Structure formats: structure tokens, C-alpha cells
Structure 1
């Protein structure tokens, strides 16, 4: 499976519209280095044609094709109204920039 979604993340996403995006986000170091890390958002991507769409148990996940088959897990953290998605299982990769 391309990505596993915890039960609590699935239920939380359903209250937020049932859509998530998992993408790479560049992070830059202070000395010029950089890495891309996987991040998750409870929204659809701006350019869905650049993502692979997966329909998993009532939730639509748009995932960056380079993250497919990485053994990722989507979960939710926080409490009350301060919850957010996070991706586990992805190693940072060297930025191409």
C-alpha cells in the first residue's frame, strides 16, 4: 500500500472534507544545504495533476508520486481544535534545488 492512514486521522479528515495531500517540502539549512521532507495537509493540492490520487476508506489522498511505496503512515496529533496531520516513515532526501 502506498500509504496507511490511522483510524483517528481518517475520522479527523472526514470532518475536514475527507481530502489530504502528502507532498515534499524543501527545508534549507543555515550553511546552504537543503533537504525535502514529507508533509501532510488536510486540503487538496493546487495542481492535482502532479499527484497520484488514492481513495482509501472514504478519504481521498493526493500523494507525490516520488513518495509512493515508501511505507508511509498518515496520523493526526494534538488535542481539541489544535490538531494537525503528520507523516511517519519518510526519510528526508537531499534537495534538488
Structure 2
């Protein structure tokens, strides 16, 4: 049920406080329809009780329950010192709230 966190994401998160939140974020198309996209942020969620809390590799991870068991990988992307978290491996059919 754990989440794979790459070494470079773990290092970056430790510099940012050692906490990450993974959740679904709705995206809407210009002609209707939409999809939920897994996103990650280096912060504690506003309502932590709505998330599953995991202690892993020295990090505290808050994961939206619908994302559990999806084989997620948390990584970092960016260039020239501008970095952000990136989640891949989530099913596009995960149900949001």
C-alpha cells in the first residue's frame, strides 16, 4: 500500500519539511467533460483527517484514500533550481469526491 518515492524526491522533500500530500485534482475541458489528475504538494493538507497518513522513508505522506493501491510513484521535476513534485502511476479512473 506504500508509495514509491524516488531518491531525488525524498531529498527535496526533506529540505521542504518532510511532508507531502497526494490528492486528486479535477481538470475540466473547454467543451465539457473532465478528469481527475493526481497531484502532489509539499505540505500538510488542510483537512488531514480526510487522508491516509503514512510514515515512509523518514517522510510523512498524506494520501487521498482513492489513490491507495494504485502503484504511485512520487518524483520531482523541473530545471534551473525550479522544482515541483510529480505523481505518476495513478489510474485515470480513480474516483474523486
- TM-score, normalised by the number of residues in structure 2: 0.92
How does 1:13-32 map onto structure 2 within 5 Å? 13-32=13-32
Determine the structure 2 residue equivalent to 1:63. 63
- Tell me, in whole angstroms, the C-alpha distance in 1 between the residues paired with 2:95 and 2:69: 20
Q: Look up the SS of the partner of 2:4 in the other structure.
A: strand
Q: Structure 2 vs 1, CA of residues 95 and 55 (structure 1 numbering), >3 Å: closer, same or farther?
A: closer
Q: How many residues align?
A: 97
Q: Aligned-pair distance for 1:91? A: 2.8
- Tell me, in whole angstroms, the C-alpha distance in 1 between the residues paired with 2:2 and 2:37: 17
Preserved CA contact (<8 Å) 2:24 2:96: no
Structure 1 gaps, min length 5: none
- Tell me, in whole angstroms, the C-alpha distance in 1 between the residues paired with 2:70 and 2:85: 18
Q: Aligned-pair distance for 1:78? A: 1.2
Q: Aligned-pair distance for 1:79? A: 2.6
What value does the CA root-mean-square deviation take over the aligned residues?
1.7
- The reply on whether 1:42 has 2:42 as its aligned counterpart is yes
Bigger shift: residues 87-96 or 23-32: 87-96
Q: Structure 2 vs 1, CA of residues 79 and 46 (structure 1 numbering), >3 Å: closer, same or farther?
A: same
